[in-house]
């Protein structure tokens, strides 16, 4: 079974600074996908960024980027130029390749942004 | 274009009762998955429905059951409620053949007293 581990329950960052959220995962599959989701107080899960395991290049979406270390099974999220609206819970998630595979989530990390 | 709609938003039930939660998927999506998110935890997969059949199931007891209707909407039923069933229940819709493109609803907060 696949597992996703987020060992930092909380982190804090100063507005405009950079913060990195850590995630490790365990799988024996070769075809899989990794995601970071944001859950604000509205409770809706919002996709921040995704990474295909077969791609060596790290994914980037505006201020959000990942450091994907496949051999180490590590998938960290870097948020640059942090904004007050970035404050939320962030979840790392794993999905096997193929249709209809489920998402496996980590426990999440609460990110606060100091003005 | 409407996203995923879940109802009700909040619900309080007594231990031993039964509850039904509802989900309308995003337009164009044909697959619905349900997740349970306990307070301070990540979501846990309950089951997934496609073509009105349960396609996958997580590690949840038979007290948890579901249904998908011809219009792709779905219900989650929980019988004999326990205090430990108190959680946020999230519905996510997707298109069966797509790897990406999950859309989540805002969930139903169930409190069992």
Q: Are A64 and A48 in contact (CB under 8 A)?
A: yes
Distance CA B105, CA B102 (A): 10
pLDDT tens by residue, A22-68:
999 999 999 999 999 999 988 999 999 999 999 989 999 999 999 99
Do A105 and B88 make contact, defined as CB atoms within 8 angstroms? no
The domain locations on chain A are 3-114
Fold (topology level) of A3-114:
Immunoglobulin-like (2.60.40)
pLDDT at B2: 62
Is B86 part of any domain?
A: yes
Pick the range with the lowest mean pLDDT from A70-74, A111-115, B99-103.
B99-103
Does B99 have pLDDT greater than 80? no
pLDDT at B22: 98
Does B100 have pLDDT greater than 90? no
pLDDT tens by residue, A87-107:
999 999 999 887 778 999 999
Domain of residue B13, residue span: 5-108
Q: Is B60 on the interface with A (CB under 8 A)?
A: no
pLDDT at B105: 95
Structurally, chain B folds into a number of domains equal to 1
Do B106 and A43 make contact, defined as CB atoms within 8 angstroms? yes
| CATH number assigned to the domain comprising residue B77 | 2.60.40.10
The SS3 call for residue B109 is strand
Option in A50, A95, A105 nearest B42 (CB):
A105
**Strand A103-105, strand A3-5: pairing:** unpaired
Q: Are A41 and A95 in contact (CB under 8 A)?
A: no
Which residues numbered 28-57 in B keep a CB inside 8 Å of some CB on A? 31, 33, 35, 40-45, 48, 50, 55-56
Does B104 have pLDDT greater than 80? yes
β-bridge partners, B87: B110
- B89: confidence class by pLDDT, cuts 50, 70, 90: very high
Q: Is A45 on the interface with B (CB under 8 A)?
A: yes
pLDDT at B1: 53
Is B113 part of any domain?
A: no
Please list the helix, strand and coil fractions of chain A in percent, rounded to the nearest 5, in that order: 5, 55, 45
For residue A73, give both structure tokens: 């099974």
| Residue A42: partners with Cβ closer than 8 Å, 6 or more residues away | B106
Residue of A nearest to B9 (CA): A43
**Burial of residue A84 (number of CB atoms within 10 Å: 0-12, 13-18, 19+):** exposed
- B14: confidence class by pLDDT, cuts 50, 70, 90: very high
For residue A103, give both structure tokens: 């998402």
For residue A2, give both structure tokens: 């696949």
What does the pLDDT average to over B51-70?
A: 96
Q: Is A96 on the interface with B (CB under 8 A)?
A: no
pLDDT at B98: 78
Option in A42, A93, A103 nearest B106 (CB):
A42
Q: Which residues of B touch A91 (CB under 8 A)?
A: 42-43
Residue pairs between chains A and B whose CB atoms are closer than 8 Å: 60
What does the pLDDT average to over B8-34?
A: 96
pLDDT averaged over every residue in chain B: 94
Is B26 part of any domain?
A: yes
What does the pLDDT average to over A6-20?
A: 96
pLDDT at B8: 97
């Amino acid at each position: 079974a696949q597992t996703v581990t987020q060992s930092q329950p909380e982190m804090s960052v100063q507005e405009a600074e950079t913060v990195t959220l850590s995630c490790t995962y365990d799988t024996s599959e070769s075809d899989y996908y990794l995601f970071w989701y944001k859950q604000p107080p509205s409770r809706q899960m919002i996709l921040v960024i995704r990474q295909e395991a077969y791609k060596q290049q790290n994914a980037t979406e505006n201020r959000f980027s990942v450091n994907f270390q496949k051999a180490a099974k590590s998938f960290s999220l870097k948020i640059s130029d942090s904004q007050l609206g970035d404050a939320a819970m962030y979840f790392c998630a794993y999905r096997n390749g193929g249709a209809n595979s489920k998402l496996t989530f980590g426990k999440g990390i609460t990110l606060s942004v100091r003005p | 274009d409407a996203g995923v709609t879940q109802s009700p938003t909040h619900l309080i039930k007594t231990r031993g009762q039964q509850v039904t939660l509802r989900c309308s998927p995003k337009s164009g999506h044909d697959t619905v998955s349900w997740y349970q998110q306990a307070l301070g935890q990540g979501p846990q997969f309950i089951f997934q429905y496609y073509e009105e059949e349960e396609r996958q199931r997580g590690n949840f007891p038979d007290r948890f059951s579901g249904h998908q209707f011809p219009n792709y909407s779905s219900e989650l039923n929980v019988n004999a409620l326990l205090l430990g069933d108190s959680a946020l229940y999230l519905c996510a819709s997707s298109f069966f053949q797509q790897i990406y493109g999950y859309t989540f609803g805002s969930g139903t907060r169930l409190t069992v007293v």
